[in-house]
């Protein structure tokens, strides 16, 4: 083989390798199993949630301090690249207290998501200075009853029941984020698996892997 022919063959092989790597990267992104969208609670959860979900391909779109409309913008951006089977949402904590406005935001968020995606959405608990949140949680439970894609993780119950401690009334400590992650992982296993016969189940039980705080 001449030097010129060898160079051409080498270039062709490199070009083919580049195409294959690009295709593999595209397949990995488009086949994402779980999309995580949310505020600081999602940020705090991610280090513990990913290992609990085993080998699932996870894409995170989480940012401190965002509202539901800002989360919707993240959803639109991520859906250009991924088609998730499960979407984990931690939004609403930084929204106002108007249930009707929040209901509209939940509806619009759900309209963005794939029709066959399982959507795990955590309830809200926050200090009084940030406004009442109970009406927002009623919106989430009502949405769950209307839309079989939704699985509600009852974070409020975990906090008020003493399973989780919030040092500042909003954000969890390390044990709390582990607990939240275990609740979400349980919700995906119980409510989002192909074998599940309980669509819309409210996940509020204490995960076996996370002890209650004394």
Where exactly are the structural domains of the chain? 1-29, 31-203
pTM above 0.85, yes or no: no
Burial class (CB in 10 A: 0-12, 13-18, 19+), 190: middle
* Cβ neighbour number for residue 177 with a 10 Å cutoff: 21
- CATH number of this structure's domain 31-203: 3.40.50.1110
In this predicted model, what pLDDT tens digit does every residue of 14-70 receive, in sequence order?
444 443 334 334 334 445 699 999 999 999 999 999 999 988 899 999 999 999 999
The percentage of residues in the chain with a pLDDT greater than 70, rounded to a whole number, is 75
Strand, helix or coil for residue 153? strand
Task: Find the helix packing angle between 99-112 and 134-146, rounded to 10°.
Answer: 40
How distant is the alpha carbon of residue 123 from its chain centre?
13
Residue 72 has pLDDT above 80, yes or no: yes
Q: Are 37 and 58 in contact (CB under 8 A)?
A: no
């Amino acid at each position: 083989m001449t030097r010129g022919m060898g160079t051409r063959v080498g270039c062709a092989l490199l070009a083919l390798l580049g195409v294959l790597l690009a295709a593999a990267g595209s397949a990995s992104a488009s086949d994402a199993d779980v999309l995580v969208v949310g505020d600081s609670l999602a940020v705090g959860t991610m280090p513990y949630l990913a290992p609990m979900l085993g080998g699932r391909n996870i894409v995170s779109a989480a940012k401190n301090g965002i509202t539901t409309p800002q989360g919707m913008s993240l959803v639109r951006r991520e859906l250009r690249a991924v088609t998730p089977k499960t979407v984990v949402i931690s939004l609403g904590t930084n929204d106002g207290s108007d249930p009707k406005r929040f209901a509209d935001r939940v509806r619009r968020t759900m309209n963005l998501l794939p029709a066959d995606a399982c959507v795990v959405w955590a309830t809200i608990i926050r200090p009084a200075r940030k406004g009442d949140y109970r009406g927002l949680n009623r919106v989430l439970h009502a949405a769950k009853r209307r839309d079989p894609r939704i699985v509600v993780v009852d974070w409020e119950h975990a906090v008020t029941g003493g399973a989780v401690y919030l040092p500042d009334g909003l954000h969890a400590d390390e044990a709390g984020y582990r607990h939240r992650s275990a609740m979400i992982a349980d919700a995906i296993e119980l409510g989002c698996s192909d074998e599940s016969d309980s669509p819309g189940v409210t996940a509020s039980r204490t995960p076996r892997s996370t002890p209650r705080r004394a």
